[in-house]
Amino acid sequence: MHRGKGMKFVGDSRVPAKQAKFIPPKDYSEYPGKTEAFLPNFLLKEWMVGAVFLVGFLILTISDPSPLEKEADPTSSGYIPLPDWYFLFLYQLLKYPYASGEYKVIGTVLIPAIAALALLLAPWLDRGFERRPIKRPIATLIMLLTFVAMVYLTWESTVSHNWEQAEQQGKIVQTVDFDKSDPGYKIFSQNCAKCHGDNLEGSSLAPALVGKGLDPATVKTMATKGGGQMPSGIFKGSDKDLDALAKFVSDVSKK
């Protein structure tokens, strides 16, 4: 550093009087062996790793479009949310009885706070001079146990989650225009709309009918006898109403 020496003043700015010769930083004489300069030798190796990583990453982005569910609807009920995968362990933790209900604060604050503080203060909790994991068994063991616990909790939460329902409840639905004064729609809203939605868009209880291309005969059987998740005898009305309903649902489902 110049520390004011060898500077000549030009106006009120300081400019070095003589171009000081650059002295390269000290080498790692404390680590004898094959050290090498950061630029270009080592950086090239890092960038090769980076290039391979980038290719893999771009392939991932192209092959798996990022998910987008339907637009948020605060009035919707029965939606079961799932956080991003890296918060799943916390999500699962809150399901256990000792971390929920009146003990909720244990799961939401106490355990995460202890973990965060322990991580933050690790240098003072583990003060020995040993650096090899095997020579400081307590620190190593705690970290490994935490890691195993997080993996286990994450795994548990994915096993107990109903993925099919999750996919169904967030699906973007195509809305179609149809005539709401159709006599069939009145029958539909009395009998079916509770589960299949006012616009036949489906809900967490039943699938969408839009885009299914249903035959009138299929609609009739489903409405009276049920099938799949649908119980029998949902439809209550005359045969004439059933005909109108079947025609209406079939027409809209083909749009």
Partner 1 sequence: MSKKEHDVSRRQFLNYTLMGVGGFMAAGIMSPLVRFAVDPLLKGKEGAKMVPVMDVKDITNEPQNKKFTVKKVDGWHKFDEQQIAYIFKKKNGDILALSPICTHLGCTVAWNDDPSHPNQFHCPCHGGRYTKTGINIPGTPPPAPLGVYKTQVKDGKLYLGEVISRGGS
Partner 2 sequence: MLQRIYDWVDERLDITPLWRDVADHEVPEHVNPAYHFSAFVYCFGGLTFFTIVIQILSGMFLTMYYVPDINNAWDSVYYLQNQVAYGVIVRGMHHWGASVTIVMVFLHTLRVFFTGAYKKPRELNWIVGVLLFFVILGLGFTGYLLPWDMKALFATKVGLQIAASFPFIGDWIKLLLQGSDIVGAQTLARFFAIHVFFLPAALMGLLAAHFLMIRRQGISGPL
How many C-alpha atoms does 27 have within 13 Å on its Cβ side?
8
Q: Which two tokens stand for residue 44?
A: 């090239």
Candidates 30-38, 152-160, 183-191, 211-219: pick the segment binding partner 2 (CB under 8 A). 30-38
State phi, psi for 9 to the nearest 5 degrees.
-90, 125
Q: Which residue, 51 or 144, has its beta carbon nearer to partner 1? A: 51
44 scored as a contact of partner 1 (CB under 8 A): yes
Candidates 34-42, 213-221, 236-244, 246-254: pick the segment binding partner 2 (CB under 8 A). 34-42
- Residue 6 CA to residue 243 CA, distance in Å, equals 100
Are 253 and 209 a contacting pair, CB within 8 Å?
Answer: yes
Candidates 123-131, 181-189, 221-229, 230-238: pick the segment binding partner 2 (CB under 8 A). 123-131
141 scored as a contact of partner 2 (CB under 8 A): no
Instruction: List binders of partner 2 among 87-116 (CB under 8 A).
Output: 87, 90-91, 94, 104-105, 108-109, 116
Write down the least CB distance from residue 196 to partner 2, Å. Answer: 18
239 scored as a contact of partner 2 (CB under 8 A): no
- Give the largest Cα separation in the chain, rounded: 105
* Number of neighbours of residue 181 by Cβ within 10 angstroms: 7
Buried-state track 30-61, b at ≥16 Cβ within 10 A, e below 16 = eeeeeeeeeeeeeeeeeeeeeeeeeeeeeeee
Q: Which residue, 58 or 120, has its beta carbon nearer to partner 1? A: 58
Partner interacting with residue 51 (select from partner 1, partner 2, none; CB below 5-8 Å by kind): partner 1
217 scored as a contact of partner 1 (CB under 8 A): no
189 scored as a contact of partner 2 (CB under 8 A): no
